[in-house]
Structure 1
Amino acid sequence: MKKKEEKSEEGIVRFLDAATVSGVYSVKTGYAVLIQQLPAQTADPFWKTLWSLPLQPKWKLFLWKLLHNGLAIKSELHRQGVPIQDVSCDLCGAQTEDFNHLFRECRIARAAWRGGCLNIHSQLHGYHSISDWIQYYIRLLISQDGISSSNISTFVGTLWALWLFRNNRVFNPDTPVIQPVGLYIFSILQTHIVFMDTDTTTTISPSSTIQEGLPPPGFHVAHLGISRTGTLFVQLQIDGAWYKDTRHAGIGWCVDNANPLDDRIIGGSNFGLCTSALHSEALAFLYALQWASDCHIHSARLFSDSYNLVTLLRGDGRGDIGILWLVQQIQCLGSTFQHCEIYKADRNRVHRAHQIAGEAAVLFIRFNSTML
């Protein structure tokens, strides 16, 4: 038996030596010969596409684990023999936590997909596995907008946000959930933009330009409320962002934080198509005032970097009939407040609202957080 093994090993060595150009065996040449003997396998092109997506590395790794059922989902841990007493979903408590439920069928997941800019009905194509469902949408988004589409970032970012949202509930069960999932997704996508170093300010047309002879910031004001006197105001910064080539627009508004270390966003954003930067700015005012009214705010001080819009709200100047109609709507809504002051400010004063509007225009983000 031993002689047969020795002869077999000698035969393999002679075969490997003969297969090399020099006739001298090495580990490298042996590996190359053995690889040639393996049957040809066709690699799935999707994996090559996955690693080439313009996403954060941790997002790619997360997506790869998700597509291979490699996340620590309760049902998967239970299947592998990990003793888990309760396998129900921590977000809704209604069903078993498996991959399809957590990322598609849970009411939190459904609200996240329907409320986002992609407007995905996650319960459609229910017969697909979570892997097939994700691959279908990524291929679809690539076919529509290319591999650099911001919609792909929004899609994968929503999956990542749902996973983090779930983990926060699992590992911090006593912490009250203050931030809604839509705002949570917005924060995740905002962080992704910073990480990928996407500079939206170079492509989005500003809502106003600096002109000579204008009054300094804070001295150009429109009074729309019932009374012009008051001391306690909720201060809002408002801005609109507009792409001239595509006419895509984003609007954003937020309450000034008294604490500079408080990074919560109390306000909202929306997106759509506009005819001009002034148009997007006017829509931002209309949405912001409606939001303030819904939050039962009676005295508001609003800041904008658009001189032209403040001028129109004062009743001065001329504009397009569509803009004038919006101005009338803003004036009508502002007249329902006890105090409503709108100030022309510089860009730094509305920096946060400018960021929200820019990201809404780029990523098609819509969210609304109410006053506590």
Structure 2
Amino acid sequence: MRRALGTPSTEKLGTYLGCNVEVDGRSSQVFNSLIEKVQNKVNSWKNVTLSQAGRLLLVNGILAALCTNILSVFLVPKQVKKKIDSLLCRYWWKGNCDTKGICWRKRKLLEKPKNQGGVGLRSIENFNKALLVKQAHRIHNNGQLLIAKIYKAKYKGSPVDCGLEDRISSTSSWGFRGLAKCVRDCKEGFGKIIGSGDSIIIGEDNWLLDRKPIFKTQESLTSLKTRPVRDLFITGSRVWNNRLVWESFSTESARAILSMHIPTNIGEDRRTWMRSESGEATAKSVYDYIQGLKAEHGSVDQTHSFWKHLWGMQILPKWKVFLWKVCNRALALNINLCKRGIQVERRCHLCGMADEDERHLFRDCMIAKHVWRAGDLGLVLEEVESLDIQTWIKNYFHYLWKEEGPNSPRAICMVITLWSIWLHRNAVVFKSNTTNPASIMGIIHQMKKDNDLGSNIRCELAKLARAKKQDHPNPVALIKGVFNYTGTRLMVDGAWKKKKNGDSVAAIGWVINHDQNVIAKGGGRIRAVSGLQAEGYAILRGLKEANKCGCRQITTLSDSRTICKLLQEGKDGPIEIASILSEIIAFAGSFDFCSIVNVSRDRVRPAHDLAYIARKHGMVD
């Protein structure tokens, strides 16, 4: 056959779409092309002048994406991932991979999320896991796929089933093993949606929002831990056994259980990813979950609110990175260089009177004091000299944010002043400029102009985005049946508020109109663990009331954009509303025509008022 077709002879199958077909996990050499690909791309940028904020975008957006086709198929050996992580880290600090340079802080700190004190540098190891979990969940949810059928026939289940049930055979393929192992590592991120309740184990599976139930006594733990959730139903019905639930679980868990919706139509219990709004395992949600696990086992920066506000400020990205470096002692100052064994003059380049570190250069230096006193902030710094520079910056920013909001003009002025001192210091060191406070004031003036220009551009872009959003009609989330306008509309809304004692109170309201005449209306309190769940209950209850009134064609108005989007895309959503959405879709099919439309709050004001009254006072007539 080969001779007849004239095809060449080879001992290997080669690659398909960039992936090596014959991967068995025994050697890392087949993945060396990933390292070469990243290194070649970095070398092509070595003559491009970029700030570290710009390099961060390239690392997270382009360099990590170069490997996506491999990372989403195979579990790459740790040795290869560490090498790529090292290249990315070196490029971020140095701008190239030819020389090592100085990495001022550990890579683990850089890889932390921004609100935890890091810069959000992409970790290839965690990114690999996130892509594989996403792939495994997609295969699990789409049983009609050829690969899903093959896996089910060969391994008696999807990668999600085998990973969560710890049924990973050493004889399975490297691809399947990688998918299942990553799912197993993210086990606590998966949960189950109540259907029949037969396969959900009360004390072992995740079926409540965020946590497993907490048992009240050791006796209840022993008797219920390994039993299915259906044993918490009243025998022969689809209703919670209130007495059993309150007797067996803590108050918080009992409230959460009684808030969970039990679908009327008995179906199979379904697996879902609990860490995203859609219920789907997206790469971002899985990556954030893995990073969160590392934070739980490591040291978490207790000033995370400072970092959250800092990265959210409307200022130049390079200023944010600069301030991060100041607070983490990651600047190439004389004292820091000496600690790294580099022999330089320790004295301050501006005043020559003390050792140059962050505290001296930006605050205690005579030149810096003149600038702070003469600037718009008018700061006199003698009283805060006992504080280290990091504490002083964080305390002052917290004060300004509290007084003036997240984009405080004085906070922005403080950032500009720190940045201007740094620019002037570098001009003195590398350009042999003369030390002059007036030069720093000139830089501050120019930086303010640049920032104002950037603010104006951002405002114009925001206006265009709002105008574009207003031009779009209200999205229709769900349509069932054939449209024949009858003028019947259902307005629904939910109200939810958390109390100081940890409990919450929720209510729903609905109004059915026909040609501007009210046919029926009502409201009442319900159990719900979130405002989103209350909105879901409101839609379901409203449809049931419309059915009781004999409505066969109905247009439902809701102000919940999240629920309407989930219905439109056909996704499960968070675990507390997944079964509610399924029943809404099923019940909507009982009408001749039913649509659900997302509208503004004013369009559902009558239902909102009823829900508010019900939340405050109870039932509504």
Is the TM-score greater than 0.5?
no
- TM-score, structure 1 length as denominator? 0.45
Higher relative contact order (CA 8 A, sep 6+): 1
Larger radius of gyration: 2
Query: What is the TM-score of this pair, normalised by structure 2?
Result: 0.27
